[in-house]
Amino acid sequence: MRKYFGTDGVRGRANGVITPELALKVGQAAGVVFQRGDHRHRVVIGKDTRLSGYMIETALVAGFTSVGMDVLLLGPMPTPAVAMLTRSMRADLGVMISASHNPFEDNGIKLFGPDGFKLNDEVELEIEALLDGGDLRKKLAGSRDLGRAKRIESVHARYIEFAKRTLPRHVTLEGLRVVVDCANGAAYRVAPETLWELGAEVISIGVEPDGFNINHDVGSTAPAALVNKVRELRADVGIALDGDADRVLIVDEKGQKVDGDQLMAVVARSWKEDERLTQPGLVATIMSNLGLERYVNGLGLNLARTAVGDRYVLEHMREHGYNLGGEQSGHIIMSDYATTGDGLVAALQLLSVVKRQERPVSEVCHCFEPLPQILKNVRFRSGEPLRADSVVTAIAQAKDRLGASGRLVIRPSGTEPVIRVMAEGDDRDLVNAVVDEVVDAVTRAAA
pLDDT mean over 354-382: 93
Residue predicted with more confidence, 191 or 385: 191
Give the DSSP letter of residue 419. Answer: E
Provide the percentage of residues in the chain whose pLDDT is more than 70: 99
pLDDT at residue number 423: 95
- How crowded is the C-beta side of 119, counted as CA atoms within 13 Å? 26
Residue 415's pLDDT band, with cuts at 50, 70 and 90, is low
pLDDT mean over 242-270: 97
pLDDT at 327 over 70: yes
pLDDT mean over 34-45: 93
Which residue, 311, 322, 380, is CA-closest to 7? Answer: 311
pLDDT at residue number 363: 96
Measured distance CA(209)–CA(191) in Å, rounded: 14
Please give the model's pTM, rounded to 2 decimal places. Answer: 0.92
Q: Mark whether 100 is an active-site residue.
A: yes
Structural domains in the chain? Answer: 5-153 (3.40.120.10), 158-254 (3.40.120.10), 258-342 (3.40.120.10), 373-446 (3.30.310.50)
Least confident span in 72-86, 147-161, 186-200, 410-424: 410-424
Provide the percentage of residues in the chain whose pLDDT is more than 90: 89
Measured distance CA(5)–CA(15) in Å, rounded: 17
pLDDT at residue number 384: 86
- Supply angle C-alpha 378, 383, 386, rounded to 5: 55
Residue predicted with more confidence, 416 or 381: 381
Q: What is the DSSP string of 65-79?
A: HHTT-EEEEEEE--H
Which residue, 236, 257, 267, 411, is CA-closest to 341? Answer: 267
Measured distance CA(333)–CA(264) in Å, rounded: 9
pLDDT at 104 over 70: yes
Binding residues: 100, 242, 244, 246
- Supply angle C-alpha 31, 36, 100, rounded to 5: 40
Binding residues for Mg(2+): 100, 242, 244, 246
Helix, strand and coil content of the chain, in percent to the nearest 5, comes to 40, 20, 40
pLDDT at residue number 414: 66
Residue predicted with more confidence, 9 or 71: 71
pLDDT at residue number 204: 98
List pLDDT tens digits, range 112-159.
999 999 998 899 999 999 998 778 989 999 999 999 999 998 899 999
β-partners of residue 249 are 240
pLDDT at 1 over 70: no
Measured distance CA(390)–CA(373) in Å, rounded: 24
List pLDDT tens digits, range 284-319.
999 999 999 999 999 999 999 999 888 899 999 999
Residue 36's pLDDT band, with cuts at 50, 70 and 90, is confident
pLDDT mean over 22-42: 94
Measured distance CA(36)–CA(93) in Å, rounded: 11
H helix or E strand, kind and range, residue 285:
strand 281-285
List pLDDT tens digits, range 206-215.
999 999 999 9
Measured distance CA(421)–CA(375) in Å, rounded: 6
Measured distance CA(79)–CA(47) in Å, rounded: 8
Spatial neighbors of 139 by CB under 8 A, at least 6 apart, are 28, 32, 67, 130
pLDDT at residue number 8: 83
List pLDDT tens digits, range 160-192.
999 999 998 899 999 999 999 999 999 999 999
Residues 360, 266: contact at Cβ < 8 Å? no
Please pick, among 98, 100, 288, 329, the residue that the annotation labels catalytic.
100
